[in-house]
Amino acid sequence: MRPLAPDARCAPSRPGRGPWYARRPVTTPSDPPAALREPPPPARRAGKAGSGELVFTRVAGRTVLEKALARSPLKLLAPKNHGQAAWVFVASFGGGLVGGDELNLHARVGRGAAALLSTQASTKVYRSPLVSRQRLEAEVQAGGLLVAIPDPVVCFAGSRYEQDIDVALADDASLVLVDALSSGRSARGERWAFDRYASRVRVSRGGRAVLLDATRLDPAHGALPERMGRFDALATLVALGPRAASAAEALLAPRPPPERRAELVASASPLRGGGAVVRVAGTSVERVAGFLRGALAFLAGELGDDPFARKW
C-alpha cells in the first residue's frame, strides 16, 4: 500500500470530495488501541442550589453561634470559640463551584456580638458555560462586628462567576470586608482566562446606602491579560464602624505615590459617616495578602486570634 502523505492526518474532511483517507479516521502505530485509550471524563453533575443560615449572639460576655444551618453543596465549619468572637468557615462539597452551582448564605450578628466568616482555601470556579453564583446577605445589629475575609476567588479558564454581597448595619455596628480575586491558575498558563467575573458589594447603615461597589471583568470588553497588565491579584477592602475606626483612619492617611511598575498599588477613599474603602492590585496573591494582613492587624484583638495565621 502506498504510504500516507505526511499531512494526510491534517487534511480536512469534506463529504463527497478528496481521497478516502481524508474522510475516515486514520490510525497509526503511535495511536493506542481503543481498549487502552483514556476514557472520556464523566459528565458533570447539574448545578445545585445550596443555602445556609447563621445567627451569632452575645451571651455572658462572649459570642456564641446560636444557629447554623446548611444545605448541600454549601458546608459550614465552626471551630472552637476563639474567646469573645465566633468563627465560621464557609466551603462547598466537591472542592469548588461547578457550572450552575448557587450558594446563598444569610448571617445575623446580634447586639454586641463579633463574628468571623472566612474560608479554608480559595474558592475555585470550574470551567463551564453555565454561571456559578454566590450570595451573602448579612445583618449586623447595634454594637456588633462582622469580619468577612474569604480567600481570593480563583476562576479557571472558561469559567463564569457572579457574586453579590449585601450588608445592612445598625447605626453603631461595624464591618470589615474583603473581596479578592486572583488571575487564575497561572502556573498552568491560565492567566485572566475566564469568560466572566462579576462582583457587587452593597453596604447600608441605618437604612441608608454608604457603599455600592461593582467589579466586572469580561473579555468581550477587551482581552483581559492586556487590560490587567502585570497584576495577578485584586482586592477590595471595606473598614466601617467604631470597631474598625483605627484601621480606616490609618488606611486614609496620606501615602507617597507608588513607584513606576510597583508590585502593589492601593487607593483609599472615605465612606459616608466614617470608614474607608481600599482597592488593591498586586503582582501576586501573596503581595495583596501581605498588605491586607498589615492593614487588619487589629483584628487579632477583636477576634481572639489572627485570622490570617497559618494561611500565608
Q: What total number of domains does the chain contain?
A: 1
Q: Is residue 204 part of a domain?
A: yes
CB of 145 within 8 A of CB of 139? no
Write the CB contacts of 131 (distance below 8 Å, at least 6 apart in sequence): 99, 100, 160, 161, 162, 196
Give the structural domain span for 182.
49-229
Does residue 56 belong to any structural domain of this protein?
A: yes
216 part of a folded domain: yes
The tens place of each residue's pLDDT in the chain, 312 residues long, gives 444 444 444 444 444 444 444 444 444 444 444 444 444 333 445 567 889 999 999 998 899 999 999 998 999 999 987 678 999 999 988 779 988 899 999 999 999 999 999 999 999 999 999 999 999 999 999 999 999 999 999 999 999 999 999 999 999 999 999 999 999 998 888 999 999 999 999 999 999 999 999 999 999 999 999 999 999 999 999 999 999 999 999 999 998 888 888 999 999 999 988 899 999 999 999 999 999 999 999 999 999 999 998 665
Reported as a single tens digit per residue, the pLDDT across 81-130 is 767 899 999 998 877 998 889 999 999 999 999 999 999 999 999 999 99
- Whether residue 243 lies inside any domain: the answer is no
Q: For residue 97, is it within any domain?
A: yes
Within a domain: 39: no
- Residue 2 in domain: no
Question: What is the pTM for the complete model shown?
Answer: 0.82
Whether 273 is in a domain gets the answer no
